[in-house]
């Protein structure tokens, strides 16, 4: 979708989502979409991952990911119920928390989807990575170093396709509020401690190495193939 079309669509959505109440105040007709804000099931057997325990994956999925989905839904409900006379800072605070919860939900879904140790890298994926990083080895080394710069703290290491520059990029994300606009996620690695501490303790490097052994290349290939 072109930017001008997106802006026009957004204007229509805003206009249709607002209406005047009887006392002349502007209120929202937004409602919570219960069909969207539900956790997605794992698309792989956690028992079959190499070097990552079923216990850790299930804890990560059930507590951290599902918890983000529940928070997103709860915040949506608060926004819907917010009085039209609420102060800007009240709405602003909720909107910030909404972004944190939704981004956490979305990034976790990319992360779990690209796990599963399936397939091999396609010629198209290999070619695109080499075009952007000169070689697979250079891409992998850069990605791993970037991920380790987040160890002991929190954040995400992401391989994305940058539509503006027409190339793949390794993106450092300190939390759920950092990202690169106009890009598509190709590979997501959760570097929050909850994603590895149960199995690896403080050994973030061991976790990153094992993560690469468990990449679902069928998913990565399909994401790259879908780039327009």
Strand, helix or coil for residue 215: strand
Give pLDDT, residue 30: 58
Q: In CATH terms, is domain 123-225 a member of 3.40.50.20?
A: no
Give pLDDT, residue 13: 38
DSSP letter assigned to residue 83: -
Give pLDDT, residue 20: 37
CB count within 10 Å of CB 22 equals: 5
Give pLDDT, residue 125: 98
How far CA 126 is from CA of 72, 115, 121, 159, in Å, comes to 36, 18, 6, 13
107 contact partners, CB below 8 Å, separation of at least 6: 156, 158, 176, 185, 188, 190
Domain ranges (residues) in the chain: 11-113, 123-225
How far CA 14 is from CA of 11, 37, 78, 168, 182, in Å, comes to 5, 21, 19, 33, 22
Strand, helix or coil for residue 46: helix
How far CA 20 is from CA of 40, 79, 160, 189, in Å, comes to 37, 17, 42, 45
* Host H or E run for residue 170: strand 167-173
Give pLDDT, residue 224: 98
pTM of the complete model: 0.84
Phi first, then psi, for residue 67 (nearest 5°) are: -65, -40
Give pLDDT, residue 9: 38
Q: For every one of its 228 residues, what pLDDT tens digit does the chain have, with 9 covering 90 and above? A: 433 343 333 333 333 333 333 443 444 445 556 567 999 999 999 999 999 999 999 999 999 999 999 999 999 999 999 998 999 999 999 999 999 999 999 999 999 999 998 899 999 999 999 999 999 999 999 999 999 999 888 899 999 999 999 999 999 998 888 899 999 999 999 999 999 999 999 999 999 999 999 999 999 999 999 998
Give pLDDT, residue 152: 83
């Amino acid at each position: 979708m072109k930017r001008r079309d997106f802006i026009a669509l957004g204007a229509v959505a805003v206009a249709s989502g607002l209406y005047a109440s009887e006392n002349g105040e502007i209120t929202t007709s937004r409602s919570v979409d219960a069909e969207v804000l539900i956790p997605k099931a794992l698309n792989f057997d956690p028992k079959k991952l190499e070097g990552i325990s079923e216990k850790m994956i299930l804890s990560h999925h059930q507590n951290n990911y599902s918890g983000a989905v529940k928070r997103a839904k709860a915040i949506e409900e608060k926004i819907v119920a917010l009085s039209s006379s609420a102060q800007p800072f009240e709405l602003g605070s909720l909107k910030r928390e909404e972004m944190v919860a939704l981004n956490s939900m979305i990034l976790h879904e990319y992360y779990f989807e690209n796990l599963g140790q399936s397939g091999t890298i396609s010629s198209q994926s290999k070619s695109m990575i080499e075009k952007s990083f000169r070689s697979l080895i250079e891409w992998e080394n850069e990605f791993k170093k970037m991920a380790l710069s987040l160890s002991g703290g929190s954040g995400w290491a992401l391989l994305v396709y940058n539509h503006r520059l027409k190339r793949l990029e390794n993106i450092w994300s300190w939390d759920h509020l950092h990202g690169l606009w106009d890009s598509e996620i190709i590979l997501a690695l959760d570097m929050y401690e909850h994603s590895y501490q149960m199995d690896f303790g403080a050994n973030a490097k061991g976790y990153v190495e094992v993560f690469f052994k468990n990449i679902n290349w069928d998913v990565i290939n399909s994401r790259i193939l879908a780039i327009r």
